[in-house]
């Protein structure tokens, strides 16, 4: 017994085909939207690719671009089929392909839902990628004369000003690395000698941060050096004083920014997947309503459209039986080949 049977006459079939045709071309625009979102996300990631530890972060935008291209192609094809369904002669050439096409559409819809799920869960690996990338970027901040790293200072400064953040987890991360190049240090000065000598790795560490960490909204001039030395500044206590540098870490700021983009894209892809499911169901009804004409030679005769030719349970049983048959067929072929080899030997 067929599932969700609907009776059609010629007028209803024409209206169905026109509605699904319109939905398919709307779905083409949805495919373009997915493609555009993938390109936008890829561009946003590339802007700060130096601050990411690997290229795996580009997997999601690349997947969105591919899914958008596929969506445009299959929806354009589906729209053409619905348009030709109004003419029995034109529709006949697509009849043999429709079953395969509908199965492909079902698989694509599943992949689209998986893609939307990835938009939400990829935030977790992105967090580790940003943490390691920012850590390495901060170590290279001082290397303004080193080929391949001379851009890192500018990248980090612009990022900290744009996202109003400082350091990886917080501003104290800058206390743990040497972020001033040796070319700007006076090694004859006692302070420099003492700081380098007191460090095991021979680095010039100080309780200061780059200028890009300063909060311009603070009424007090920015205190970015000797931040833990109360005597170095008038009326200042770094334990109680409201510091005039950004307190938020850049990893959290970037994760919030990219996470917001990914959540928005994920929600939109879910909507696109729902539209794709709707047009696939619509095409199934178009196909089944034309296949069950009471009089195939009379296009005005009544017919029945259905979602599945059998019940869900029967359909599932048939699919499992076909898969088992395919598996047994493969084993028989392997056994035949082994027998043939043994006979020859």
Least confident of 74-83, 178-187, 284-293: 284-293
How confident is the model at residue 248, as a pLDDT? 93
55 pLDDT exceeds 70? Answer: no
Mean pLDDT of 119-141: 91
200 pLDDT exceeds 60? Answer: yes
The owner of tokens 């089929």 is 81
pLDDT-above-90 percentage for the chain = 45
How confident is the model at residue 21, as a pLDDT? 93
d(CA 54, CA 202): 29
d(CA 334, CA 54): 43
How confident is the model at residue 232, as a pLDDT? 84
Take residue 97 and report the two structure tokens written for it: 């392909």
How confident is the model at residue 235, as a pLDDT? 82
333 pLDDT exceeds 60? Answer: no
In DSSP terms, 245 is beta-bridged to: 214
């Amino acid at each position: 017994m067929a599932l969700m049977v609907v009776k059609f006459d010629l007028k209803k079939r024409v209206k169905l085909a026109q509605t699904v045709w319109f939905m398919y071309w709307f779905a083409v625009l949805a495919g373009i939207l997915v493609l555009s979102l993938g390109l936008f996300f890829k561009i946003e990631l590339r802007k700060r690719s130096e601050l990411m530890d690997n290229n795996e972060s580009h997997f999601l935008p690349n997947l969105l671009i591919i899914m958008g291209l596929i969506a445009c192609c299959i929806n354009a094809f589906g729209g053409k089929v619905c348009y030709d369904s109004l003419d029995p002669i034109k529709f006949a050439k697509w009849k043999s392909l429709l079953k395969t096409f509908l199965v492909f559409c079902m698989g694509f819809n599943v992949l689209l839902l998986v893609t939307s799920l990835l938009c939400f869960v990829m935030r977790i690996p992105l967090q580790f990628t940003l943490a390691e990338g920012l850590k390495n970027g901060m170590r290279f901040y001082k290397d303004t004369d080193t080929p391949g790293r001379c851009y890192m200072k500018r990248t980090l400064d612009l990022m900290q000003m744009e996202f109003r953040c400082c350091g990886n987890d917080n501003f104290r991360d800058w206390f743990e690395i040497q972020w001033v190049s040796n070319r700007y240090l006076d090694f004859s000065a006692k302070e420099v000698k003492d700081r380098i000598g007191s460090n095991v790795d021979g680095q010039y560490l100080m309780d200061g941060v780059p200028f890009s960490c300063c909060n311009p909204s603070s009424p007090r001039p920015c205190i970015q050096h000797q931040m833990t030395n109360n005597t170095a500044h008038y009326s200042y206590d770094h334990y109680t004083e409201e510091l005039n540098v950004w307190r938020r870490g850049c990893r959290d700021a970037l994760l919030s920014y990219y996470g917001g983009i990914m959540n928005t894209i994920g929600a939109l892809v879910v909507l696109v997947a729902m539209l794709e499911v709707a047009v696939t169901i619509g095409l199934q009804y178009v196909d089944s309503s034309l296949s069950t004409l009471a009089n195939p030679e009379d296009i005005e005769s009544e017919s029945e459209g259905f979602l599945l030719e059998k019940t869900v349970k029967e359909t599932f049983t048939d699919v499992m039986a076909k898969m088992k048959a395919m598996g047994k067929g493969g084993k028989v072929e392997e056994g035949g080949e082994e027998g043939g080899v043994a006979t020859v030997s």
